[in-house]
Amino acid sequence: MRTQVAIIGGGPSGLLLGQILHKAGIDTIILERQSRDHVLSRIRAGVLEQGLVDLMTQAGVGDRLARDGIPHHGTILTHDEKELRIDFTRHAGRPVIVYGQTEVTRDLYAARDASGAPILHEVSDVELHDLDSDRPHVRFTQNGKSQRIDCDYIAGCDGFHGVSRQSIPSEKRREFEKTYPFGWLGILSETPPAHHELIYANSGRGFALCSMRNPMLSRYYVQCRVDDHVDNWTDQAFWDELRHRLPSQYADTLVTGPSIEKSIAPLRSFVCEPMQYGRLFLCGDAAHIVPPTGAKGLNAAAADVFYLSDALQRRYLDQDVQALEGYSARALARVWKIERFSWWMTSLLHRFPDQSEFDLRMQQTEMAMLAEDNRAKHTLALSYVGLPY
């Protein structure tokens, strides 16, 4: 097989990159390790920055998002019984849009199918070769048969555990990582949300988040031990713990119901530098991870897609052979700002095992400064709704 750009990973970032390049007349083949059903079963964030909304529109897959996406003009931060609302429209000039990542992926699959562009599922033994030459290629196995794709460039959109980043020689990359001493226990329930905007709660028992996917589908999280297991939590135990962590006005009106999904996610901050090596370019979780506090994972990947698709279009459509050389530096400049915001939100809202009384007072003082200073609200709002590309 031969293509211009081989895309490793068929999640939302790989699909979005493929769709934008297809619209520009650039050929791609997407390789995905899992089945389509598995990809669509993954429960992920649902808060979209305007930049990602605009990319979906550019890719020709924004109709359902425009119809069903729910604008959120602010968010609630609480510390025990104290509450602070951050008004996005006032302080940043635009809202975020609530629209589930599964729905983003579903829209992109539909567009890929309509285009007839190939996506190969359930591939294994993926190997990237000759990345530092002008003739890279990909080897893989599908249905027990060994295959090869020759290409001009490779986009690594295959996540933290994928092959792409590991294909960069260790002496050519530098990795920065911070792991957090807790996880998030999350459930999905067919219940109305606790509030029409997201609630980020810091309590003496730990962090909690109340979010939503639509008016009758809610996503809730509580901070838990990093070594905890979902089997330790009945639905009733989860709802009881969530109530303990919310201000009484929300706890008293919380509507509960059976969980339809339950999982625990560890939290980490991670960055790989550079995000390119030869003809290989990393996107999204293959290059960087953020803790979910602040809903930046998918949005950070979308920014990478913007920078890489822009450089590839300039390379193919404008014959700008230098366009791709600046991809990593351009992407990383934004990535580190997103890392800072997600780390700061995590530090502000969680209870740490070794937290001292001084540390707790610093959290309380940070909340007080946010409440009193519009400049601080402005800074938080700008980061939350999305920094410019």
Among 381, 366, 359, CA closest to 79:
366
> Is domain 180-266+352-385 given the CATH code 3.30.9.10 in the classification?
yes
Considering 12, 22, 72, 277, which one is annotated as catalytic?
A: 72
Compute the distance between CA of residue 229 and CA of residue 161 in angstroms, rounded to an integer: 21
Query: Count of CB atoms within 10 A of residue 53's CB?
Result: 20
What is the pLDDT averaged over residues 206-228? Answer: 95
Q: In this predicted structure, what is the pLDDT of residue 42?
A: 81
CATH of domain 5-72+98-177+268-346: 3.50.50.60
Q: Which amino acid is at 210?
A: C
pLDDT of 286: 98
| Arithmetic mean of pLDDT over the chain | 96
153, 220, 307, 384: the catalytic one is: 384
Per DSSP bridges, beta strands 206-214 and 199-203 are antiparallel
Q: What is the pLDDT of residue 43?
A: 73
CA neighbor of 13 nearest in space, from 101, 87, 88: 101
User: pLDDT tens digits, residue range 58-84?
Assistant: 999 999 999 999 999 999 999 999 999
List pLDDT tens digits, range 163-173.
Answer: 999 999 999 99
| Cis amide leading into 247 (omega within 30) | no
Specify the pLDDT at position 153.
98
Q: Using the 8-state DSSP alphabet, how is residue 299 labeled?
A: H
CA 150 from chain center: how many Å? 30
User: Active-site residue 247, yes or no?
Assistant: no
pLDDT of residue 128 exceeding 90, the answer is yes
Segment among 33-47, 66-80, 279-293, 365-379 with least mean pLDDT:
33-47
Amino acid at 249: Q
Catalytic residue among 109, 200, 220, 250: 200
Q: What's the pTM? A: 0.95
DSSP structure class, residue 44: -
- pLDDT mean over 332-338: 98
Does 271 score more than 80 pLDDT?
yes
| Catalytic status, residue 12 | no
Q: How confident is the model at residue 41 (pLDDT cuts 50, 70, 90)?
A: confident
Confidence category of residue 90, pLDDT binned at 50, 70, 90: very high
Q: Where are the domains of the chain?
A: 5-72+98-177+268-346, 180-266+352-385
Asked whether the predicted pLDDT for residue 45 surpasses 90, the reply is no
User: Strands 96-98, 47-48: parallel, antiparallel or unpaired by DSSP?
Assistant: antiparallel
Catalytic residue among 277, 292, 316, 377: 292
Give the dihedral sign, CA 111/286/6/300: positive
**327 a catalytic residue:** no
Q: Which two tokens stand for residue 163?
A: 């092959």
Encoded tokens for 160: 């933290």
- Residue 292 a catalytic site member: yes
pLDDT at 177: 98
Annotation marks residue 250 as catalytic:
no
